[in-house]
Structure 1
Amino acid sequence: MEEAVQKSLRKQCKCHGVSGSCNIKTCWRALPDLHRIGQRLQRRYRNAIEVSMRRVGARWQMAPATTAMGRFSHEDLIYNAKSPDYCVRDQSFGSLGTVGRQCNASSTSHDGCKSMCCGRPYNTFTVERIERCQCKYVWCCYVKCKTCKRWEDVHECT
């Protein structure tokens, strides 16, 4: 992550002077927005190369698991074991799966039901929420609230 941030730094400059002249120029290295750094890391993650250990003479060396991959560089992300399917419960990997996970039915982002439930269906049910409401400051020195009931739709992966 640190390397991705370092490589994303860009030089920015500002001129100081009378009527827009550039008598003094101040420059610094600035970060792009976090979204661009995340995109760079995600691209590297999608193109990660699986490696295995191979004996070369008396030494062990990492090499691409398939010869079709070619060589890899220090820029590439590499891995030596496939990740578990986090959509499916697998206690040996500590994956709880998606069953029972709450999601946002109206979102198309990462918190949306399509993503959170791995494309599988979800149930919607209504729950009663009890919360403090109509709070008022009472002289001196406390806040008095009423208790209100509110019905809310909850979406849960099946």
Structure 2
Amino acid sequence: MKMECKCHGVSGSCEVHMCWKVIPPFGKVGNPRKSSQGKVRGATEVHPKQVSSRKLLVPKSSRFKPYVAHDCPDFCDRDPWHGVFGTSGRQCNRTSLAMDGCELLCCSRGFHTAQAEVVEWCSCNFRWCCSTKCKQYWHLMEVHSCR
């Protein structure tokens, strides 16, 4: 992966310097693996084969070895080398089936449930000049976090 950076600021000044990793175009990754006959080296042709009531994809050659560009980091566990913080201690949603749900976010490791006292601000009014007055609403809330 390549680093790409841009400067942001008034009249071209570089007050904020932002950088990110960029994935190379697919052709740049795939073309070196392609032979002069137009076939990809290391790829295996597969054919459907009927096995009982199911169809399976069976490699034509027994020399099947998939091409792996690099190992993907595991985002479940902490990995400072790849800049991954892991999900241990992250707050999750017990009832959600989406990415914020405890089952997915906690990588099937389970989660802790605790009661937390939460303050919310409500009925806020702007006072001239220059303050805001709000009422505080305290309540207990169930909080779930990954093991």
Query: TM-score, normalised to structure 2's length?
Result: 0.51
User: Do residues 151 (structure 1) and 140 (structure 2) align?
Assistant: yes
Residue in structure 2 matching 1:87, options 52, 70, 76: 76
Unpaired runs of at least 5, structure 2: 1-29, 45-62
In the alignment, the residues of structure 1 paired with residue 43 and residue 78 of structure 2 have an alpha-carbon distance, to the nearest angstrom, of 27
2:86 corresponds in structure 1 to: 97
Q: Higher helix share goes to which structure?
A: 1
Question: How does the TM-score come out when normalised to structure 1?
Answer: 0.47
Q: CA deviation at 1:103?
A: 0.7
Q: Which runs of 4+ in 1 moved over 3 A?
A: 62-67, 134-144
- Over 3 Å counting, the alpha-carbon distance change for 1:141 and 1:91 in structure 2 is closer
* Partners of 1:140 and 1:85 in 2: CA distance: 52
In the alignment of these two chains, the number of paired residues is: 95
Listed as ranges, the gaps of 5+ residues in structure 1 are 1-50, 57-61, 71-77
**Displacement of 1:68:** 1.9
Equivalent AA in structure 1 for residue 42 of structure 2:
P
Give the 3-state SS of the residue equivalent to 1:129 in structure 2.
strand
Q: How does 1:110-129 map to 2 (within 5 A)?
A: 110-129=99-118
Superposed CA RMSD: 3.4
Q: Distance in 2 between matches of 1:126 and 1:98?
A: 20
Percent identity between the two aligned chains: 39
Report the AA paired with residue 68 of structure 1: F
Tell me the SS of whatever aligns to 2:73: coil
Q: 1:132 aligns with which of 121, 128, 136?
A: 121
Letter in 1 for 2:115: T
Q: Which amino acid aligns with 2:123?
A: Q
Cα distance in 2 between the residues matched to 1:120 and 1:86: 13
